[in-house]
Chains A and B, each alone.
Chain A
Amino acid sequence: MSQSTATTCPECTGNLERDSQETVCTDCGLVVDTDRLDRGPEWRSFADDDRNRERVGAPLTRSRHDRGLSTEIGYSSRLTGRKRRQFARLRRQHSRANVASKAERNQIYAFTEIRRLVSSLSLTYSVRDQACALFDSAQTEGLLRGRSLEGFAAAAVYAVCRTNGVARTVTEIVAVARADENELRAAYAAMNRDLGLPTGPIDAREYIPRFATDLDVPRAVERRATELAADAAETGSTGGRKPSGVAAACLYAAAREADYPLTQQRAADAAGVTPATLRNAYYALD
């Protein structure tokens, strides 16, 4: 049982995903390799030298301005009177002293906003951490000046979703964000320009499962829609069209093939596009 070095699946050339035990193809599910030994880093990162041997405490996280290393003054029911009031004052001074600079305060606010967005969109922790890291680099680059914090928080979540292949539409994010669409777009443009985000055009297939759930269509229709989208991506027939419109069109086309009642209006609403966009994409499909 050696560690395989292949990066694609030997059977279907799909992407391989490696977790602590198994290397699995994400497309066909073939288990390429198993390795009972966990060769990954220890559950907590620590400096790799002899002097720093700490193995206690919670793991460091990018999603907190202080990496999760903060001190709080707790409460005790045994304290009474003067001592209790003294600790209340200490606590207040401590929380004031927690934030050293304006930038840090902004970061705390933005990270809270990112955490809120991630939780209300039910995204994963890795998206949260990456979004916070992205915001951090945007802040160090000085992109925030003159733009809104909320916009950057929303844009960071949008960008990370997109680069991770779990794209959300701008409309979906704006619906739960404190920023409006213009703020988000301005922030995203700035980050895309100055940080060089590794994004390409969005694949319509990333939208289909979500829209299918919203429309409550059968599994078979969803599967067919994904096939249609894959074909379209291969032939390039929908190149240049709005991906959410293409996704809606694929769902509509698949529903029509299966005689499942789905109106253009409903499909378009689920995707947040106009029926006209859907129709254009639909005609381009065949």
Chain B
Amino acid sequence: MQQEDRRKLSREYFSKERLAEHHYRSFNSFLERGMQDVVTEKGRIETDIGDKEDQEPVFVELGDVRVTTPRVREADGSEELLYPQEARLRNITYSAPVFMEMSIVRGGEEEEETVLDTTETKVGRMPIMVGSSKCNIADFSDEELVDIGEDPADPGGYFIVNGSERVLMTSEDLAPNKILAEYDTKYGDEIQVAKTFSQRRGYRALVLCERNRSGILEVSFPSVSGSINFVTLVRALGLESDEEIVHRVSDDPEIVKFMLENLEEADVQTEAEAIETLGKRVASGQGKDYQLKRANYVIDRYLLPHLHEEGVEDEETRINKAYYLCRMAEACFELALDRREADDKDHYANKRLKVSGDLMKDLFRTALNKLSRDVKYQLERANMRNRQLTVNTVVRSDVLTERLEHPIATGNWVGGRSGVSQLVDRTDHMGVLSHLRRLRSPLSRSQPHFEARDLHATQWGRICPSETPEGPNCGLVKNFAQAMELSQNVDDEQDLKAELSSMGVEGVPGLQHETDAPADD
């Protein structure tokens, strides 16, 4: 390429739209889809009304959610559009009202369900990113920007809360829903572990499958203390016969040998027995019925939640969980047999970046839960005092607002992370640009973590090799490379699965395979 052309291309990468693009692309997709997804997955707010005799249950159905552009309500009650500069000068928050359709429904037990009230009501205010699609200056020309006191060269990509500009630090996390095999030491012996951070709807569960020093596989997951025998767990999930378990793990003769050792050690043979054993672990000292109930609940709730899907029965995903555990077992054995190397946690293929939209989604989810709890409480109070139940009188809009604004203002995010939002560095223009393109590793800076701090070959073209602070944060705080492109999570999983199923892949949950004729083998 000619030098002129290269220069032109390079300039394009430095254009205003490109510099903080990852921030508003992420935030825009949160506004367009993420918010509605969170509301849809919440679905409805149940109440305790109707637990008593001759009372019909009441619940709230959540509908469409809508955000306008930022505006300010004055003390005299008038409302007008708010521009970023005014928010900065008046020390107010650059936020837009959020409206949600809600309907209060009574009945369902003996009477038919009747809708008591349906209204689109203001549920709170959402801080809006400067430069995003809901920002009031989104498509202003340079002259218009100057007229309202805005800097045309300002890249945007931050929030304004109580007059201070806050940028959400991009954070670098280990990729969820992926099997990572690695070595570990336990009581001085080297063991092999396969890990998966299973993530669904903001719930994150670490599932570990380890091969201990006597060669027996053990699985541990949240809500179960200690670990459970691998064979017991897959049997509880419906993978019963010896042959099938071995076949699902691997056909490799050496791995089969390892598996047979495991099967010999197994103390349960059937699914029912296995669930019983699991019940004794998760609810020891409780009644038999409760143990079974609890065991089933734990399996469907806490074990590998990412395999669940909208509209698929919990029972149907169980067998897939068993297959997944077998894949984890295979990874352990392969590692033990030196068939593969331990996965590299610093490889960029094993990393995911959490940008402002993802962080706001986490925040909105907990804020909505808090709002739901408040609505539930208000409904129960109003019902107890025999008041008419209307949407407008049970929603307190400051609950959501506070839950959204406070973390951005202080940096104390949900899940106990702190320092997520930072005051935009306005030392100079370059400072702003650098700050908006910064990313942070969640690893503790007080520990050495030499490998994590090293420049990794896969950072080529993504992360700047030289811009990192000196001192304790060295190598943990990084900056994007000039030509970095951040790809986004696209919701095409269903389409992909449907396509695979149509091509003959069997066992995709929720999709009936069209041709039931066996393949000729």
Contact = CB atoms under 8 A, between A and B. Distances in A.
* A-B interaction: yes
A104 B317 CA distance: 51
A119 B401 CA distance: 10
A195 interface: no
A213 B393 CA distance: 23
A119 B75 contact: no
Nearest to A119: B398
Nearest to B77: A210
Given A120-B392, A120-B397, A109 B381 contact: yes
A168 B76 CA distance: 9
A9 to B, nearest CB: 20
B253 to A, nearest CB: 42
Contacts of A109: 381
Most buried by B among A115, A206, A213: A213
Given A80-B225, A115-B398, A177 B77 contact: no
A176 B396 CA distance: 10
B385 to A, nearest CB: 8
A124 B398 CA distance: 11
Nearest to B124: A119
Given A120-B397, A150-B387, A209 B77 contact: yes
Nearest to B73: A122
B75 A175 contact: no
Interface string B46-82: 0000000000000000000000000001111111100
Contact of A210 (B78, B382, B387, B396): B78
B288 to A, nearest CB: 18
13 contacts: A80-B225, A112-B378, A115-B398, A116-B378, A119-B398, A120-B122, A150-B385, A166-B76, A177-B393, A178-B382, A209-B77, A210-B78, A213-B78
B233 interface: no
A5 B17 CA distance: 53
Contacts of B122: 120
Contacts of A176: 392-393
Contact of A116 (B74, B75, B77, B396): B396
Given A109-B381, A119-B398, A210-B77, 4 more contacts: A115-B396, A116-B378, A119-B397, A175-B392
Interface in A95-135: 109, 112, 115-116, 118-124
Given A150-B387, A210-B76, A213-B79, A119 B392 contact: no
Nearest to A118: B398
Contacts of B398: 115, 118-119
Contact of B76 (A149, A175, A177, A206): A206
Interface of A: 80, 109, 112, 115-116, 118-124, 149-150, 166, 168, 175-178, 206, 209-210, 212-213
Overall SS of chain A's interface? helix
Interface string B388-413: 00001101111101000000000000
Interface in B75-116: 75-80
A178 B387 contact: yes
A118 B402 CA distance: 14
Contacts of A178: 382, 387, 393
Nearest to B402: A119
Contacts of B74: 209
Contacts of A175: 392
Q: Which 5 A-B pairs have the closest CB atoms?
A: A210-B77, A209-B78, A119-B398, A122-B73, A213-B78
A245 to B, nearest CB: 17
Contact of A212 (B78, B395, B397, B399): B78
A167 to B, nearest CB: 9
Contacts of B75: 123-124, 166
A204 to B, nearest CB: 12
B80 A120 contact: no
A120 B75 CA distance: 13
Interface in B338-395: 378, 381-382, 385, 387, 392-393, 395
Nearest to A213: B78
Nearest to B79: A213
Contacts of B392: 120, 175-176
A170 B111 CA distance: 37
A45 B3 CA distance: 67
B194 to A, nearest CB: 24
Nearest to A219: B80
B224 to A, nearest CB: 11
Contacts of B76: 166, 206, 209-210
Contact of B77 (A115, A149, A150, A166): A166
Interface string B201-232: 00000000000000000000000010000000
